[in-house]
Structure formats: structure tokens, C-alpha cells
Amino acid sequence: MVIVLHPSTTPENLEELKNELLKSDCKVCPTYGEFQIILGVVGSTQQINRDKVLNKKYVEKILSVQEPYKMANRMFHPENTVINVGNESIGGTKIALIAGPCSVESEEQIVDIARKVKEAGAGFLRGGAYKPRTSPYSFQGMKEEGLELLKIARQETGLPIVSELMSASELDKFIDSVDIIQIGARNMQNFDLLKAIGQTNKPILLKRGLSATFEELLMSAEYIMSEGNEQVILCERGIRTFETYTRNTLDLSAVLALKRLSHLPVIIDPSHAAGKWWMVEALSKAAVAVGADGLIIEVHNDPANASCDGKQSITPDRFAALVDPLRRIAEIDDRTI
Ligand code: PEP
Ligand code: MN
């Protein structure tokens, strides 16, 4: 349920209304917009005495939220959510560039790539320490040591770190080491993991499952938000279709649909979508043109010998050459990089 209040509502009015609503088994999420105050209410909203609420002079209207996702719903929060990470942000007019290798392989590798992508204009460093591999015989990541190397790269460059968490048993280490916790496509519906990260105050980069609908993705975001963590970034990374030429099929309409349905930032991962490095630059430009809030791009200094996903990784030089065209596309919509 969404309760729209008059702009003249006083803090005392708000307190009175909240106390009334909390008599039911509900949670109240206020949003202070430029022209109105909105109270999103979740829980047993059927217990609320609607007439009593509507009788208050400062209550403009009550709206029912039909969709099963509530806190992630744009009705709850009409303005875009902007997530601040250090000096960077995701969801505002500045497009977030997250770049780095699929997995951390050595100190020299991660520090070298971090320096180069920073110099090119990236705002964040990605790097997997725990890797979800299809085969148990493939490289599984450097694990704890990988997290330590990411911290060195952050110290060297100042870039905030994005890394994938696969199990709640590693959560404490991630809270100490990373700036944004990535939940991979394969874990999008690992509900216990979603609940665990919902109890932290780390921004979460939530990737769309291999064959998840927008509603399923938003319900996964809702799992995180309903535990108290509202800092969720949605990521389209390609979905399974009948096409096998590309690794996945990049669904650019996800940006438009998700931004209409939700206030959360939406970013694009062209690397895992295409699976081919030579498609990454054009798909990145398309993603910015369609309104994505950011890009997460795999960049490797030696793609041919990468431990993971070399075929879809671009070199630091190619990444650097891509930033200016992206900036020019962003300017069309009065955005920056
Ligand atoms: C990754 O980012 O390296 C990754 C494994 O992504 P996804 O979960 O989208 O496959
Ligand atoms: Mn990868």
C-alpha cells in the first residue's frame, strides 16, 4: 500500500500516522520527494483502517500496489534511487563504469588492470575471487587470497571493489573486503543468501538469473530490501534463448522495463551476455543509449591466457578507447561518465 501525503504534512502529523499504521503488523518506508511525501507500507496492510487514515487532513490518497514486489516498486519511491559508494554513485546522471578481470589471478595482474582501467575513466574495479564455474574441474578462483589482492588494488588506485559472494559462510570476509557485493546469475534465487546480504549495509549488485523474468528479478531484490538493505543495483547480463552463437542473449529492453517498474539502478554486463570480446564495445554503446545506469565490463591484460572468460574480455587499451564514445552517447541524454 502507498499513502500519498500533502507537501504541508508536519513531522508531528507523520509521527501520528506512523503510530497508527504500526498498530498493524506493518513496516513503513517514507520517501521525501520534492513535491510530496510518500509512505510505502508493507506487511499485513489489510489490518489497516483505511477510512481512519483517509480522514486525516494531510492524507491525499491511498494506492494499492498490485505487483508482488513492493519496496522495489517505483510506486514506493517515484524518484530514481542513487547508491553512493565512496566518492562514486550509481543511479544518478553519472554513468558507472565497472571494469576488471573475470577473476583475480595475481597481484601484478589485478593491480596492472586496476591502474589501467582507472586511468581510462572506470569508477569501480571488478574481480572474482570465488568463481561459480559450470565444471568442478575449472579454476574456482583464488578465494581469500583473491580478496586480499583486490584490497591491494584498491589501496593502489582508490577504486571501490565489486566481487561475487557465493555463500553466506564467506559473508564476514566480504563485509571487510569489498565495497559492492555481487550476487551472480546462478544465485539470483538463493533466498537464504539474499536474506543474509539483506541484513548488511553493503550495496548489492544483483544479476538477473539465466532465465529469470523481470518480476522474478525484482522479487529477489525484494528479498534483500525486506531485510533492511535497500541498496540494490539490478544487472542484466543476458538470458538463455534458443540462440547459441552468443553465450546469452542481451535483453536491452530490461533497462526500460526495470526502470519503469522499479526505482533501482539498472546496469548492463555486455561481456557475459555476448561471450565474445568483439561484441562488447558496440553492446556497451547500445546499453548507454538505451539508458543503463552503468556497465560492468570484463577487461584483461592478457585475454588469451586468462584463467576465466578470456574470450569475452577486452584489453585495457580497447576499454580506454571505448570511454570517449560512451561519454558522447551519454551527453545526448545530459548524462556524464
Ligand atoms: C561474473 O561476473 O564473472 C559472472 C560469473 O557473472 P554471471 O553471474 O552473470 O554469470
Ligand atoms: Mn566472468
Tell me which CATH code domain 83-332 carries. Answer: 3.20.20.70
Q: Give me the residues near ligand 2 (ion), CB cutoff below 5 Å.
A: 102, 309
Confidence (pLDDT) at 33: 80
Atom 9 of ligand 1, nearest CA residue: 185
Ligand nearest to the CA of 133: 1
Q: Kindly list the domain boundaries of the chain, sorted by start residue.
A: 2-63, 83-332
Which single residue is written with the C-alpha cell 494531510? 58
Quote the CA–CA distance of 238 and 251 in Å, as a whole number. Answer: 6
Using the atom order of ligand 1, give the atom closest to the CA of residue 208: 9
CATH architecture for segment(s) 2-63: 2-Layer Sandwich (3.30)
Given this model, what pLDDT does residue 36 score?
A: 84
Atom of ligand 1 nearest to the CA of 103: 3
- Terminal CA-CA length for the chain: 37
For residue 165 and ligand 1, the question of a CB distance below 6 A is answered with no
> For every one of its 337 residues, what pLDDT tens digit does the chain have, with 9 covering 90 and above?
999 999 889 999 999 999 999 999 999 999 888 788 999 999 999 999 999 999 999 999 999 999 999 999 999 999 999 999 999 999 999 999 999 999 999 999 999 999 999 999 999 999 999 999 999 999 999 999 999 999 999 999 999 999 999 999 999 999 999 999 999 999 999 999 999 999 999 999 999 999 999 999 999 999 999 999 999 999 999 999 999 999 999 999 999 999 999 999 999 999 999 999 999 999 999 999 999 999 999 999 999 999 999 999 999 999 999 999 999 999 999 999 9
Calculate how far, in angstroms, residue 312's C-alpha sits from the geometric centre of ligand 1: 12
Cα-flanking dihedrals φ and ψ of residue 274, to 5°? Answer: -80, -45
User: Closest residue (by CA) to atom 1 of ligand 1?
Assistant: 102
The full DSSP string for 23-59 is TSSEEEEEEE-SS-EEEEEEE-GGGS-HHHHHTSTTE
Best mutation site among 103, 164, 239, 250 for ligand 1, i.e. most ligand atoms within 8 A of its Cβ?
164
What is the value of pTM for the model shown?
0.97
Nearest atom (ligand 1) to Cα of 185? 8
